[in-house]
């Protein structure tokens, strides 16, 4: 049996895949259909227009590829760069590590800027590399906006500023997998050239659509980029965009209907309200962690993430036990510590279609598990800190005013 029953709702608090709201589940519950009929292209046209809003772009061109975040990475890289190109990439946690591994396997010349896990991208090092690079050998900067493994959010506006200060033409490629549609993200304003996300994160859909958005400069770069790409070739998509049929191969039709509803929900709440809700969820989680007497893996306030919190546990506790026990005893799913920080942190994902009371349920569960594994937590302490914050700061639900 691949589904292990537990009574009641599973409290799903991994930082993706996240909860799928009922209207989205219902919208996807439909038969296949002919994607060459007028209906699917008509829906695709509006989706391509509307999806730009979550990137905050008017000039970008989106591609809704049947893939995951990893495929979206590959699409971003292979369409804009050639093997041997020098790129600067920041290693700050497991997902940036995996992206760097992909960059190396695709044969780019990767200039890795490493930070301790729990810290953000070292932008001082970036600045010195950009300042020195008067010959413009650096073709792209690759950065994970929100490192899901450590709960670190990087300052993208600052990256843009560095590039602008030195009038450096490097492409700016951003992984927004655990940020776009949850954190403040401004593709046009920050001059991001390729931004990408995956459907199973803040959009609260099943896994299966990688959304990649390319700036005019990135599209221009794709005309000369020599990396081999077939499935991910933007050009194939663009040909079909021109024809008005949109799909070079079979789209995931049910997911497109899900995306339609997911976007409608975001617009009904208002994107800025969605972002503000994530900010409340993040803040409340951090207050709870503090009340438990534990530390956030994120080493400084400037990098704290409003979509995921990685909680450091004392050395006498194995955080893997916390995650196991939460699931076995309380039907609560928390994120494991990954790679270097396995056993040292557990993660609370607070992104997507999620509200304040759901989070309080998770925090209550975490407290009980902490006590189970021998950490002297005062039951209710984190919940009290978070609920006091919510009680003071939660606005009326925008669609119910």
Known binding residues for substrate: 347
Comparing every residue's Cβ against ligand PLP, the nearest one is 69
Rank residues 323 and 364 by Cβ distance to ligand PLP and give the closer one: 323
The window from 100-108, 132-140, 171-179, 321-329 that contacts ligand PLP (CB under 6 A) reads: 171-179
Nearer residue to ligand PLP within complex by CB, 351 or 364: 351
Contact set for ligand PLP, span 131-150 (CB under 6 A):
144, 148
The site for ligand PLP, by CB under 6 A, has a size of: 12
Q: Which two tokens stand for residue 304?
A: 């704290």
Q: Which of 12, 16, 138, 192 binds ligand PLP (CB under 6 A)?
A: 16
* Euclidean distance between CA atoms 23 and 15, whole angstroms: 21
Asked if 69 interacts with ligand PLP (CB under 6 A), we say yes
From residue 200 to residue 219, the character string flagging contacts with ligand PLP as x (rule: CB under 6 A) and all else as - is -------x------------
Residue 154 C-beta: closest distance to ligand PLP, Å: 11
- Of the pair 183, 322, the CB lying nearest ligand PLP is at 183
Please state, in angstroms and rounded to a whole number, the distance separating the CA atoms of residues 306 and 214: 25
- How is the beta sheet containing 345-349 ordered, strand by strand? 295-296, 308-312, 345-349
Task: Scan for tokens 């905050």, then name that residue.
Answer: 56
Q: 68 or 279: whose CB is closer to ligand PLP?
A: 68
Here the tokens at position 85 are 């190109």
Report the distance separating Cα 226 and Cα 83, nearest Å.
Answer: 7
The set of residues, in sequence order, having a beta carbon less than 8 Å from that of 128 and lying 6+ positions away, is: none
- Residue at token pair 């009290």: 384
Comparing CB distances to ligand PLP, the nearer of 69 and 365 is 69
Residue 298 interacting with ligand PLP (CB under 6 A):
no
CB burial string 118-143: b at 16+ within 10 A, e below: bbbbbbeebbebbeebeeeebbbbbb
The dihedral sign for the CA sequence 116, 120, 121, 122: negative
Shortest gap between Cβ of 299 and ligand PLP (angstroms)? Answer: 18
Our finding on whether 352 is near ligand PLP (CB under 6 A) is: no
SS3 assignment, position 11:
strand
Q: For residue 229, count other CB atoms closer than 10 A to its CB.
A: 18
Residue 264 has which token pair?
Answer: 């409608």
| Given 63, 90, 95, 389, the residue binding ligand PLP (CB under 6 A) | 95
Of 95 and 241, the one with the shorter C-beta distance to ligand PLP is 95
Q: Which stretch binds ligand PLP (CB under 6 A): 174-182, 185-193, 240-248, 350-358?
A: 174-182
CA 272/CA 266 separation, integer angstroms: 9
Q: Which residues are annotated as a binding site?
A: 347
Residues making contact with ligand PLP (CB under 6 A): 16, 68-70, 95, 144, 148, 175, 177-178, 198, 207
């Amino acid at each position: 049996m691949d589904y292990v029953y537990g009574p009641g709702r599973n409290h799903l608090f991994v930082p993706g895949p996240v909860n799928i709201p009922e209207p989205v589940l219902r919208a996807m519950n439909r038969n296949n259909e002919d994607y060459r009929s007028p209906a699917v292209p008509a829906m695709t046209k509006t989706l391509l227009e509307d999806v730009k809003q979550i990137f905050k772009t008017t000039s970008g061109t989106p591609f809704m590829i049947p893939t995951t975040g990893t495929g979206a990475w590959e699409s971003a890289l292979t369409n804009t760069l050639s093997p041997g190109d020098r790129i600067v990439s920041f290693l700050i946690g497991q997902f940036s590590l995996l992206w760097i591994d992909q960059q190396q396997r695709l044969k780019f010349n990767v200039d890795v800027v490493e930070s301790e896990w729990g810290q953000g991208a070292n932008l001082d090092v970036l600045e010195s590399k950009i300042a020195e690079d008067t010959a413009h050998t650096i073709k792209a900067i690759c950065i994970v906006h929100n490192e899901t493994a450590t709960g670190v959010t990087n300052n993208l506006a600052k990256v843009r500023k560095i590039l602008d200060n030195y009038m450096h033409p490097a492409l700016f490629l951003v992984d927004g997998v655990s940020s776009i549609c949850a954190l403040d993200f401004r593709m046009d304003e920050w001059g991001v050239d390729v931004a990408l996300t995956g459907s199973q994160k803040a959009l609260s859909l099943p896994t299966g659509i990688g959304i990649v958005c390319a700036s005019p400069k990135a599209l221009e770069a794709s005309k000369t980029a020599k990396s081999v790409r077939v499935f991910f070739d933007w050009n194939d998509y663009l040909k079909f965009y021109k024809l008005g049929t949109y799909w070079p191969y079979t789209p995931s039709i049910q997911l497109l209907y899900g995306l339609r509803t997911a976007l409608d929900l975001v617009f009904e709440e208002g994107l800025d309200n969605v972002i503000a809700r994530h900010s409340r969820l993040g803040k409340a989680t951090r207050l709870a962690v503090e009340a438990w007497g534990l530390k956030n893996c994120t080493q400084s306030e400037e990098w704290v993430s409003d979509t995921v919190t990685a909680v450091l546990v004392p050395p006498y506790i194995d955080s893997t036990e916390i995650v196991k026990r939460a699931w076995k005893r309380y039907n609560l799913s928390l994120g494991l510590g990954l790679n270097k920080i396995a056993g040292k942190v557990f993660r609370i994902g607070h992104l997507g279609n999620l509200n304040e009371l759901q989070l309080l349920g998770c925090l209550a569960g975490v407290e009980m598990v902490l006590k189970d594994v021998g950490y002297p937590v005062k039951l209710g302490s984190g919940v009290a800190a978070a609920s006091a914050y919510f009680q003071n700061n939660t606005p009326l639900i925008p669609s119910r005013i």
